[in-house]
Structure 1
Amino acid sequence: MNAGRTQSDDWYLVRRDHDGSARVVAKNGELQGWRKLGSVYRGATFKAAEKVVGQVLSSGTVGVEGGVFCAPVAGPDGLPHAVLVSTTADPGEIPEVGVWEWRFPLTADAPPVLHVTPAALDQFGVGIESRDRTVYGPADFFTRAMNLSEILPHLGFLYDSDEGEQRAARTMMKGDDGEDRDLHFVEQVGSGPAGERVVRGLCWPAAYDPRALATRTLDIELATALAVAGDQFVAVGDIRFPYAPYVVKWVTSHPPGLGHGSSTGQTPGIHPDDLGRLLEYVMELGNVGPGDPAPTLAGIRARRAGGGWISGSGKGFRLSEQFYPTIWVALITPDHPEL
């Protein structure tokens, strides 16, 4: 969002706050802390910007008012979730901003559903082969994020934040093409038409600094190398929904041959005859106290790409009993594929 721009053709990313006021969340790709629109524009320019921002957020079409250019940033539902504003008459290429929306079920004790735009999938690095559905889940969002120190605060915000609460973050992603991506996130909690909890987010690339990127990934790269050397596969899972546990991310690659749905934590990845045992194991993990040994689970079969099943054994441990009690790390040793 910031490449090759000058002060006279700044791009401002603007979205509505929970009170309906227009707030500037980024300038040329740099976070701005939800500033008021009047803090960046003055006088007649502010009045024109305020008017055209309101018009574009309502209409979803490009608008120009008093020399202020405004373009919508559409969400997964096709409606404008934010706008990009410039005071240049011909601003040229409009920056790409990804949009997502988490929708929580009203009654079911289950994870939220993720709706996401193609622009966000591009920025997350989701390959075409993984875009095989229109609705996604937590595993799809987090599995490409590299650092648990960036993932877990996001999970905390997703489930524990209050109506109107906002969050800005910077998150490293490793795309399916193997390339690292450094993204800015901004999120806000709202509600849907039926009163359901909704968390809406925007993302765009941060300024590229290869040395900083490499430094931020050293810990996870070391952990991955140690796990691979130990001939184990490592996954981080969330058991806050005992009947719908999901994989947050694979620290290592997932076991060879594991079907796409299983590798991202989507059900039905577990053999029907083993699902009950897995859920019992998850319930048992939830009752493990601080310092207690975690049980081992063996013989669970997961769907194999191309048909059939693969089986293995695993053992889990908590990362933080105090702050993230539902987050577990699974150490998995696969058996031979079962045909």
Structure 2
Amino acid sequence: MTQPGQEHEQSAATGASVNTQGAVDLSSLAGGSAAPAASSAPSAAAHGQPSQASPSAQGGADSWVLAVQPPQLQEVIQLSAQVPVVLVIHDGGEASQQMRGTLGEAVDAQQGRVLMAELDAAVHPEIAQQSQGQLPVATAFLGGRPVGEFDAQISADQLRQLVEQMVQLATQNGMTQRMPAQSRRAVDGAEGHQEPEIPPLHQKAHEALEAGDYEGAIAAYDEALRENPGDSDAQIGRAQVQLMSRTRGVDLETVRTAAAEAPDDVEAQIAVADVDVLGGHVEDAFTRLVGFIRTHHGEDRERARAHLVELYSIVGDTDPRVNKSRQQLARALF
């Protein structure tokens, strides 16, 4: 199965239109190669023109640009299992402002098909040092892997092409989900037009997640569901945070070995399915659990079925891999 990052790397090797000369490899900033997760955004940060504005600012338009801190870099990479992510490390210089503005507009034009995360190196000297003073720099992530690094040498037109290419590659690999808006962007004439802001309990969940408090985020979503049991966004957000919590600190080799040694252990199979979703191997996760359901009965079968349905909601009901797996599940059950 071709992974998103592999396909993009092949495209780059055969003459992609985006110039990467002078780019800085930022993958180490997030702790090396990491497995992605389908998760809620780490925070709902605001995006201005191109400087940041307060998330509570009234008016403006939906934006898919969010501000992050170094501890959240892992979560940013994990988000790229759902949609492409561009991470921009910047300072207060004019070149940074131009890159942030151009990328922000291009990202917002995609209406949730891609996210942009901003990290201010001016307040994090260790980040500025690691980037060797070459700011701004942007790293594109797809399927949990860095697929391109770009600096100020890239033109505005090429930045826009980069965003379009990332969305095209994601679509080719079955990543068709749209993320909800992460912030508000000020626009001319917005004073007389105010759109609904993120629900307070959803905002509370995002803030808890930003602080690394998974339990607090789940509790906020639980409260939202008590108020409105039909809140599908809260249901999906809760499932996403639970996945992040379950897989925090998990060693991939250990869980795979355990599953291989105990093929009848439903929890061992579920653990591998979780890390497969984290790693972007969605079809592998679905196939594993459908296979278990086909050959087992009783409580273990129901446990695997319920978990598989939860993973469907995390990946997204409109994803073609979910539709295909649902058909396979129906045949396994009946």
Query: Relative CO higher for 1 or 2, CA cutoff 8 Å, sep ≥ 6?
Result: 2
TM-score (norm 1): 0.27
Specify which structure has the higher proportion of helix: 2
Larger Rg: 1
What is the TM-score with the length of structure 2 in the denominator? 0.27
Higher-strand-fraction structure: 1
